[in-house]
Each structure stands twice: as C-alpha cells, then as structure tokens.
Structure 1
C-alpha cells in the first residue's frame, strides 16, 4: 500500500501494488493513465508492506475512507517533510 502526492501536497493518491518499484517508475514516467498522469501524482510519501494483497487492499480502503487531515497526519508522522521516498526503492 502506498501514498503518492503531487508537488506541493496538492493531490493525494492511495494505491496498492505487488511491485512498488515498478509502479513508482510508471508514476514517474507518466505511464499510468488517469488521475496519476493528469495531476502528476508521482512523489512517494508513504508506504507500508503487507504479507498478503488482501491485507494491503484492506488498509488501502481504510485510509481512503479517512478525511484529508487524517491522511496528512499519517504521512507527516512518518515523513515530516513529505520527502519523495522513491529513492529508497532503487
């Protein structure tokens, strides 16, 4: 499960993938259509690992249901300056 944002923390995107490195490459290179490409949501600011896809999808849905302030607090508590963490993947 991962959270990306556009520059300036404008738009938050929450997703799930089995291969975060590959998914972030797609985000960064504009390969992913839709919201990700339209709003350039390509800064990885939070991610969590799970044993199963079901667990990851459950966590994703939980966070999607949160209000914006809670999402911001989750990111800030682990990444206070909202740095792009994608370098940790390569």
Structure 2
C-alpha cells in the first residue's frame, strides 16, 4: 500500500489537481482524493483607471467575462479591465480579504495594484478571442 500511496502523491504533486485526504475505516487508513478549490479576490477598473470594483469568485475567467457582458455596476461604469487578483484555497479567507479591501481606502487599493501591476495592464486580455 505504501508504494502505491507514494505514486499517488507524486501524481497529485505533478498535476496539482487533487490532494490526498486520509480517511479511517475499520482501523485502516486509506487515501481519498479531494479536489482543490480555488477562490479569487479581484479588482476591476475602467479604461481610465478611475473606478475600482472589488469582488470574489471561484471562477475568475468566467466572472470577468460576465462583467464584460452583463449589465450592472461594472457595465454602468465600464469596469471590465482586470488589474489585480489574489488566490485562496478557502472561501472564508477570500471573503474576509474582499471585505478588508472594500473597507480600505482607495489609495491602499491603488498601492496594492501598483506593486503587482505597475502599468495597470488588463490581466485578462489574452483570455478571450
């Protein structure tokens, strides 16, 4: 069993898609594969970088495309340029970070974006045709 377990661990590391989860059954331990969930906190802005929108999602690419298509705050203010995002494994951490960013000043958000993306390029520009 140990030999097989090492192969499974190697496979998980190599592909980065699943992690082993130890489960106890009748005094024996075995692996059960768990999918790794990723959550994102992101900041969108408009063409002139005057409006900032902070959000959280579990599918960043899909959510950004929704902002580009659907009506709402981001459509009204033309916020369709992804300038910053962070990745989290736990939704509670992502929501807490989103609240922290929303409560923070505009200047703190600008400083955060400038450190990671000094030119304020659209990080999602090459995601779509």
Q: Name the structure 2 match of 1:87.
A: 125
- Larger proportion of helix: 1
> SS at the partner of 2:120?
coil
Q: Name the structure 2 match of 1:16.
A: 56
Deviation sequence 1:37-76 (CA, Å, 0-9, x none): 1001100000000001111110000011111111100000
Q: TM-score, normalised by structure 2?
A: 0.65
Aligned: 1:37 with 2:109: no
How much has 1:89 moved relative to structure 2? 4.9
Name the CA distance, whole Å, in 2 between partners of 1:51 and 1:22. 18
Structure 1: runs of 5 or more not aligned: none
Name the CA distance, whole Å, in 2 between partners of 1:50 and 1:89. 21
How much has 1:28 moved relative to structure 2? 1.8
Q: TM-score, normalised by structure 1?
A: 0.91
Higher relative contact order (CA 8 A, sep 6+): 1
> SS at the partner of 1:3?
strand
Aligned: 1:27 with 2:67: yes
- Larger proportion of strand: 2
2:91 is aligned, of 25, 49, 53, to 53
2:115 is aligned, of 77, 81, 86, to 77
Structure 2: runs of 5 or more not aligned: 1-40
How much has 1:87 moved relative to structure 2? 3.4
Question: Which of these two proteins has the greater Rg computed from alpha carbons?
Answer: 2
> Aligned-pair RMSD on alpha carbons?
1.3
Matched positions, count: 88
